[in-house]
Structure 1
Amino acid sequence: MARIALYYPWIYLKSGVERTILEIYRRSRHDVIIVTSHYDRDATFEELAGCNIVQRGQVSVKRTYLQAAKAALTMANLRFDRAGYDALVICCDGLGPLLTFRNRNLPLMNLCFTPLRAVYDMDYRDRLLARNGPRTAKLVAEKLFRLLDRAAWRKFDSVICNSRTTRARAVDGGLRAKGEMIVAYPGIAAAAIRPAGQVGDYFFLPGRIMWTKNIELAIDAYRDYRAQGGTLGLVIAGMVDRKSGPYYESLQAQAADLDGIRFETEVSDARMQALYGGCRAVLLAAFNEDQGLTPLEGMAVGKPTIAIDRGGPRESVIHGQTGFLVEPQPQPFAEAMLRLDQNPDLARAMGLRGQDRVSLFTWENFIAVFDDEIDRIVAQKAQIRSPQRETAAESVRAEQ
Structure 2
Amino acid sequence: MVRILFLHPDLGIGGAERLVVDAALALKERGHDVSFLTNHHDISHCFKETADGSFPVQVVGDWLPRRLFGRFYAFCAYVRMLYAAFYASFLMPQREQVDVVFCDLISVCVPVLRLARHRPRILFYCHFPDQLLSARNGGLLKRLYRAPLNWLEEHTIGQADKVLVNSKFTLRVFQDTFRRLSTVPDVLYPSLHTQYFDKMEHKLEQRSTLLEEPVHPRVPRNSFVYLDINRYERKKNHSLALHSLRLLGNMLPALDFKRCRLIIAGGYDSRCVENVEHFSELEQLVEELQLQDHVVLLRSPTDEEKCHLLFEAHCLLYTPENEHFGIVPLEGMYFSKPVVALNSGGPTETVVHTSTGFLCDPNEKSFGGAMYQLFRDEALRLKMGDLGKKRVQQKFSFEAFADRLSQVVQELLPKKQQ
Mapping for residues 1-400 of structure 1, pairs under 5 Å: 1-11=1-11, 13-28=12-27, 29-49=31-51, 50=53, 51-58=55-62, 59-62=64-67, 65-77=71-83, 78-79=85-86, 80-81=88-89, 83=94, 84-92=97-105, 96-104=106-114, 105-116=119-130, 119-120=131-132, 128-129=135-136, 133-174=137-178, 180-191=184-195, 192=197, 201-229=224-252, 231=257, 232-242=260-270, 243=273, 244-256=275-287, 257-258=290-291, 259-359=293-393, 360-379=395-414
Q: Retained in 1: the 8 A contact 2:22–2:191?
A: no
Q: Retained in 2: the 8 A contact 1:120–1:169?
A: no
- Secondary structure of 1:324's counterpart equals strand
Q: CA RMSD in A?
A: 2.6
Q: Retained in 2: the 8 A contact 1:60–1:67?
A: no
Letter in 2 for 1:23: D
Identity of paired residues, percent? 25
Q: Deviations over 1:69-103 (max 9, x none)?
A: 233234335333485111111122xxx21011112
Give the drift of 1:212.
1.9
- Paired with 2:132 and 2:280, the residues of 1 have a C-alpha distance of 29
- Secondary structure of 1:37's counterpart equals strand
Consecutive unaligned residues of structure 1, counting only runs of 5 or more, are 384-400
Letter in 1 for 2:414: A
- Paired with 2:358 and 2:327, the residues of 1 have a C-alpha distance of 16
- Paired with 2:348 and 2:397, the residues of 1 have a C-alpha distance of 17
TM score, norm. by length of structure 1: 0.85
- Paired with 1:176 and 1:311, the residues of 2 have a C-alpha distance of 23
Q: Retained in 2: the 8 A contact 1:171–1:178?
A: no
- Paired with 1:379 and 1:47, the residues of 2 have a C-alpha distance of 31
Letter in 2 for 1:91: D
- Secondary structure of 2:102's counterpart equals strand
Structure 1 residues 381, 67: CA separation in 2 closer, same or farther (over 3 Å shift)? farther
Structure 1 residues 214, 381: CA separation in 2 closer, same or farther (over 3 Å shift)? farther
- Paired with 1:235 and 1:75, the residues of 2 have a C-alpha distance of 35
- Paired with 1:315 and 1:14, the residues of 2 have a C-alpha distance of 23
Consecutive unaligned residues of structure 2, counting only runs of 5 or more, are 209-221
Structure 1 residues 175, 368: CA separation in 2 closer, same or farther (over 3 Å shift)? farther
Give the drift of 1:382.
7.0
TM score, norm. by length of structure 2: 0.82
Q: Retained in 2: the 8 A contact 1:204–1:275?
A: yes
Q: Retained in 1: the 8 A contact 2:166–2:189?
A: yes
Give the drift of 1:372.
1.0
- Paired with 1:81 and 1:358, the residues of 2 have a C-alpha distance of 39
Q: Retained in 2: the 8 A contact 1:307–1:326?
A: yes
- Paired with 1:115 and 1:69, the residues of 2 have a C-alpha distance of 15
- Paired with 1:137 and 1:40, the residues of 2 have a C-alpha distance of 34
- Secondary structure of 1:155's counterpart equals coil
Letter in 2 for 1:248: F
Give the drift of 1:220.
0.6
- Paired with 1:266 and 1:8, the residues of 2 have a C-alpha distance of 20
Question: Could you tell which deviates more after superposition, 347-356 or 235-244?
Answer: 235-244
- Paired with 1:382 and 1:143, the residues of 2 have a C-alpha distance of 40
- Paired with 1:175 and 1:40, the residues of 2 have a C-alpha distance of 38
Q: Deviations over 1:323-362 (max 9, x none)?
A: 0000111111000000001101110011111111011213
- Paired with 2:413 and 2:241, the residues of 1 have a C-alpha distance of 46
Q: Deviations over 1:32-82 (max 9, x none)?
A: 110111222211123311220112323555595434323323433533348
Letter in 1 for 2:41: Y
Structure 1 residues 371, 175: CA separation in 2 closer, same or farther (over 3 Å shift)? farther
- Paired with 1:316 and 1:17, the residues of 2 have a C-alpha distance of 17
Structure 1 residues 292, 156: CA separation in 2 closer, same or farther (over 3 Å shift)? same
- Paired with 1:60 and 1:176, the residues of 2 have a C-alpha distance of 32
